[in-house]
């Protein structure tokens, strides 16, 4: 499979898709065309079909050959110069080049993951999909490092078309078509064994446009990453393996640090992709054709991402997600997360004459119910404080001291500036920007009421995990930690917009099982969703409902329904299995479809671009080391998130720490020149086995400096030993680019295996890692023999 031909096809297809999605808005914006189409729908359909086939014919008859010829010409002219530079440049230029190119690949990978997650909900919940596509592209690119021509000039045009096509799909075209692309086929309650043939075909057909989007994005991501990885691997082959890998790790650390910095600055895609394009462009400036093409493509990347597609909506890229501020019909703020409704603010103050009107009665009831029910409001905590509605209700109800905990600083800032009651400026309120679990662990106070707002998260914890940001809040351990901070008689309230009543049964049962808990209650509030419930329980007392207030605000007591449905076989989420949204431990059908899609696409791309590539048995250890490393890294991210808080800072520092451990191992091997790997392998397996025993025995707690230090050591030791093994084997390898290709393909396998946690829990990842590292050890011996 010829890269130039495939890349040219992708470029043309991306432009065709953009043009086709531009046509409907242009028609609707032209009055006489819009009127003509409305009068004669049949003619409109015929015209659209003719236009469609004309566009396809024109682009493939004229645009495709010219695009292929142009791209081939640029690559052919640039390749000798790029090759010559990498062979003749002094080492003092080669080492920085490896750092810059490695940093560019990782930074570009991370910003593609984040940007695509902000466009379509499916990428936010299937974040691994983009990650695995980037791994596939990087692996193929490194495998092509010794092949000609060098494809670097193709990277930026493909990146520009990727940005253009996905932006067009997201913001243009017919709303009915776009609605299909906003579907999220995550039926986590359905096991792969429970999906029957009768509904499978209709489900597949209904989600076909969405899976088409996933396939197209996967291919584009792969094509973007291949040229940069190829040139990085090509330059790395100039130096010895250990030095090259060390520079690669330094570049990776710099890439993570770069995204960390830009997240801290709340920058958006125009900065991310502008910076990425500048890094990739730097090594093309010496070649005239590549320079012109690269500059034009880099400017296109900046212009596309700077385009105000929704000029009436304020977009803010917080460290977690895309937050968009718009206005409701009443003029007050409404917040969108990645383009979908998230929350809105209300003026429910006593001065508002409409407070007791029919439109706001139910809203007042929902927000004030917990505070009307709590016997005392001296000390109150609101978790998931958001833009401030719950906090305002606490202030109106007479709370003397309210802790307002919100993890996303952008949402809290919007609430501070735009909430009509200004709850965050009230002297009785203490705003806290932190993870809920971390707040409760650090707190030494006792509270009269702990109120959970609707914490339903739209994003995953990290790029390499399928855990949502709010998953560890709704576990047995998470709710228990909060409950233990209640005073005697204190009240805990948990509100949730239930996708199904089984989730409500989980909350009800977890509250029932709290130590010294009174009888919990379940109140249907219907706020924003006909299945929004508020569950409440008191410590050493029963809940006394404000019945008159409930009757006047349309709140219905459904306690009897949930109490009658008590199910001892219900799978309660825990810190080891934090999948609150799943009915039971299983392989969800939709995830299996996605994983099969990833494997099929990866196999197609690998076999297409590397048709003559055969398994090299001497490189198999690097494949298994990559797979095991991915699992251990995922476990480290989740465990350290529980230890220090699932904030963006902790995740960023953890990923950086993982890379620093690998770099430290590389330096250690470079200085000490290990010859054998049996001892590091044995220590690696022993450390993972110890981690498994620790995880399955309940751990050692999460408080105290000594405990945290011990947990950090326990979680990072496997990474250090794995790094020592990798660098020791790498020292004897002749082709570092091929080593990294195998390692990245192994990381793809690890990313796929991570989904086993949905069936068996996160501790099971230790067993998988044990098996993979054992396979690496065995193939190491076999390869040497």
> Is the model's pLDDT at 211 over the cut of 80?
yes
DSSP 30: S
pLDDT on residue 591: 78
Sheet bearing 521-524, strands edge to edge: 429-433, 401-406, 379-383, 447-452, 486-497, 532-538, 521-524, 556-557
User: DSSP E strands: which ranges in 373-461?
Assistant: 379-383, 401-406, 429-433, 447-452
pLDDT tens-digit readout, 507-563: 999 999 999 999 999 999 999 888 899 999 999 999 999 999 999 999 999 999 999
User: How would you label 233-267 residue by residue, b for 16+ Cβ within 10 Å and e otherwise?
Assistant: bbbbbbbebbbbbbbbbbbbbbbbbbbbebbeeee
Distance of CA 557 to the CA centre of its chain: 37
Q: What is the pLDDT of residue 645?
A: 79
pLDDT at 44 over 70: no
Cβ(232)–Cβ(101) below 8 Å = yes
| pLDDT bucket at 366, cuts 50 / 70 / 90 | very high
- Dist. CA 230–CA 737, nearest whole Å: 8
Kindly state the average pLDDT of the residues 637-657. 85
Of residues 32 and 491, more confidently modeled: 491
What mean pLDDT do residues 238-257 have?
95
* Residue 379 DSSP code: E
Cα 109 from chain centroid (whole Å): 12
Three-class secondary structure assignment of 711-760? HHHHHHHHHHHHHHHHHHHHHCCCCHHHHHHHHHHHHHHHHHHHHHHHHH
CA-based nearest residue to 640, from 716, 578, 533: 716
- Give the pLDDT mean for 120-130: 81
DSSP H or E run through 275:
helix 269-282
Q: Residue 28: what pLDDT?
A: 60
Report DSSP state, residue 424. Answer: G
Q: Compute the average pLDDT of residues 705-734.
A: 87
Which residue is it, tokens 């209640």?
Answer: 486
Burial of 617 (0-12, 13-18, 19+ CB in 10 A): exposed
Q: Is 50 exceeded by the pLDDT of residue 757?
A: yes
pLDDT exceeds 60 at position 430 = yes
pTM: 0.91
Q: All domains of the chain, ordered by start, with CATH?
A: 1-183+199-309 (no CATH), 355-457+476-564 (3.40.50.150), 615-785 (1.20.1250)
Provide the pLDDT for residue 39.
63
Tell me phi and psi for residue 328, to 5 degrees. Answer: -80, 170
The gap from C-alpha 399 to its chain's centroid, in whole angstroms, comes to 37
């Amino acid at each position: 499979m010829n890269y130039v031909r495939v890349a040219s096809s992708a470029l043309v297809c991306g432009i065709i898709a953009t043009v086709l999605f531009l046509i409907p808005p242009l028609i609707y914006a032209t009055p006489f065309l819009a009127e003509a189409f409305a009068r004669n729908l049949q003619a409109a359909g015929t015209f659209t079909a003719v236009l469609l086939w004309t566009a396809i014919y024109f682009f493939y008859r004229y645009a495709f050959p010219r695009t292929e010829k142009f791209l081939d010409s640029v690559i052919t002219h640039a390749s000798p110069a790029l090759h010559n530079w990498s062979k003749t440049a002094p080492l003092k230029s080669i080492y920085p080049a490896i750092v810059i190119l490695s940093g560019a690949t990782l930074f570009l990978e991370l910003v593609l993951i984040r940007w695509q997650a902000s466009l379509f909900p499916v990428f936010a919940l299937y974040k691994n999909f983009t990650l695995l596509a980037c791994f596939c592209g990087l692996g193929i690119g490194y495998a092509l490092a010794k092949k000609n021509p060098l494809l670097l000039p193709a990277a930026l045009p493909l990146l520009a078309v990727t940005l253009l096509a996905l932006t067009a799909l997201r913001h243009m075209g017919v709303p009915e078509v776009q609605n299909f692309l906003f579907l999220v086929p995550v039926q986590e309650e359905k096991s792969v064994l429970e999906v029957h043939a009768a509904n499978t075909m209709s489900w597949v057909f209904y989600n076909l446009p969405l899976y088409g989007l996933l396939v197209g994005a996967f291919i584009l991501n792969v094509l973007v990453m291949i040229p940069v990885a190829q040139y990085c691997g090509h330059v790395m082959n100039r130096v010895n393996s250990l030095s090259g890998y060390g520079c690669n790790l330094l570049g990776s650390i710099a890439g993570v640090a770069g995204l960390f910095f830009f997240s801290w600055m709340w920058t958006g895609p125009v900065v991310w992709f502008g910076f990425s394009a500048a890094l990739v462009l730097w090594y093309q400036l010496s070649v005239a054709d590549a320079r012109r093409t690269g500059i034009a493509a880099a400017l296109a990347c900046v212009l596309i991402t700077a385009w105000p597609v929704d000029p009436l909506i304020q977009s803010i890229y917080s460290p977690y997600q895309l937050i968009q501020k718009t206005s409701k019909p009443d003029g007050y703020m409404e917040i969108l997360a990645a383009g979908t409704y998230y929350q809105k603010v209300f003026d429910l103050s006593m001065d508002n004459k409409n407070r007791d009107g029919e439109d706001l009665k139910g809203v007042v009831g929902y927000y004030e119910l917990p505070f009307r029910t709590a016997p005392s409001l001296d000390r109150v905590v609101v978790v998931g404080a958001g833009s401030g509605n719950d906090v305002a209700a606490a202030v109106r109800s007479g709370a003397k001291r309210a802790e307002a905990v919100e993890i996303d600083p952008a949402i809290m800032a919007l609430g501070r500036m735009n909430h009509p009651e200004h709850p965050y400026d009230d002297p009785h309120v203490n705003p806290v920007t932190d993870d809920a679990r971390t707040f409760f662990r650090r707190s030494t106070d006792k509270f009269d009421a702990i109120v959970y707002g609707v914490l339903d998260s739209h994003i995953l914890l990290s790029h390499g995990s399928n855990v949502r940001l709010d998953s560890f809040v709704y576990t047995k351990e998470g709710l228990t930690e909060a409950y233990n901070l209640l005073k005697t008689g204190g009240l805990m309230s948990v509100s949730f917009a239930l996708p199904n009543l089984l989730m409500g049964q989980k909350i009800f049962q977890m509250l029932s099982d709290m130590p010294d808990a009174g009888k919990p209650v379940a109140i249907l509030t219907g706020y924003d969703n006909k299945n929004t419930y508020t569950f409440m329980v008191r410590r050493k007392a029963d809940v006394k409902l404000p019945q008159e207030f409930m009757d006047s605000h349309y709140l219905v007591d459904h306690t009897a329904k949930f109490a009658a449905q008590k199910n001892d076989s219900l799978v309660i989420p825990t810190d080891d299995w934090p999948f609150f949204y799943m009915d039971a431990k299983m392989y969800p059908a939709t995830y299996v479809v996605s994983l099969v899609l990833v494997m099929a696409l990866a196999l197609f791309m690998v076999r297409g671009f590397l048709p003559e590539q055969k398994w090299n048995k001497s490189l198999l250890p690097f494949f298994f080391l990559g797979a095991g490393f991915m699992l251990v890294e995922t476990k480290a991210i989740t465990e350290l998130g529980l230890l220090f808080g699932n904030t963006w800072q902790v995740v960023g520092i953890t990923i950086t720490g993982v890379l620093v451990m690998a770099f430290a191992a590389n330096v250690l091997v470079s200085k000490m020149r290990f010859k054998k790997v049996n001892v590091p392998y044995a220590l690696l397996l022993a450390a993972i086995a110890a981690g498994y025993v620790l995880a399955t025995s309940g751990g050692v707690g999460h408080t105290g400096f000594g405990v945290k230090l011990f947990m950090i050591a326990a979680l990072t030791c496997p990474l250090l030993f794995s790094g020592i093994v990798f660098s020791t084997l790498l020292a004897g390898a002749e082709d570092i680019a091929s080593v990294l290709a195998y390692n990245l393909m192994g990381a793809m396998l690890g990313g796929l295996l991570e989904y086993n946690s949905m069936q068996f829990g996160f501790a099971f990842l230790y067993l998988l890692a044990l098996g993979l590292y054992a396979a690496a050890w065995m193939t190491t011996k076999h390869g040497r023999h």
